[in-house]
Structure 1
Amino acid sequence: MDPLISLTIRNRKPWFVPGEILDCEYQIDCIGPKAIQAVEASVLWTTFGKGDTDLGVHFFERRIPEDLPEGDLRELHRFQTVCPESPLSYEGELLSVRWCVRVRLFPIKGRETSLDIPFQLGPTSQGGPRRPVRPEVPTAENNDSQTNSRRSSTGDDED
């Protein structure tokens, strides 16, 4: 059975302003505690569109079993970061900037598994973005865009 990553943005909203705290948590299931080499959590942005793809990491945390007294990385883990001033989320014809929270699981055997939850960063006008990023389409597997779980051993970020 493939590992299951459960990832939640605890703030329960898709839009954040610079300086606001992004509060997240994750838990790993369906894998033994001694079968995990490492778990990484990150908050990052990526550009899409014409030209080269850029990626920037705002927050990064790598945990290994030796970091914990019991060595069990499956347990619920919470992390927070202050949202940066830039780059702001943007959806244009030639370029898009998208933010996400990502958790990656590295098993001792097999391929890595990862899960992303997108969010938007920028100033708000009446509670919404100036130029909205295309909304996420709920799937049958997950109709709450702020809580996600996935079981996969493919190593790619698409469901």
Structure 2
Amino acid sequence: MIGKFLDRFCLGLRVLLGVLMGALSVPVAMQVLSRYTGIIPSFLWTEELATFLFIWIVMIGSVVAVWDGTHFDVRITRDFKSPFLAFLQNGIVHLAIMVFGLLFLFYGIEYAEFGGKQRSVMMRANLMITHISVPIAGGLWMLLAGYRLSQDISTFLGRKGVNT
């Protein structure tokens, strides 16, 4: 039940990513047209908006990658065939993601508060708009990696019970 909810939640994040990518194409196209054709005047706020959108795309994309298991992890050992060693290997990856998620959440709150005291140069937008993405992503990494770890544990225990 929780897995279905999280799966639908991540589907919603994928849709949001598509919308943000479409939105990102507008200021980037405006920048290209203004720089190389002179058809429209040069707007400096388009670069800020593109940066804001890109930050959110990266952070939301990282959350989806944690759910899909497509995040970047470095395997310093080969993939093990032993169920216990494979469980241990995946468990360490999920625990590491949870630790980094905790760090992003904990320090990201202070980072977001710092951003809340600042405004962007061109758009005069409160920078908490982008800074808040860090603790949100960290919290979601912890949640999703924790769920994946619990799946790994129940799979391993279920497999162990069948084999003995």
The TM-score, its normalising length taken from structure 1, stands at: 0.21
Q: Give the structure with the higher percent strand.
A: 1
- Which structure has the bigger radius of gyration? 2
Q: Give the structure with the higher percent helix.
A: 2
| Larger RCO, structure (CA 8 Å, separation 6 or more) | 1
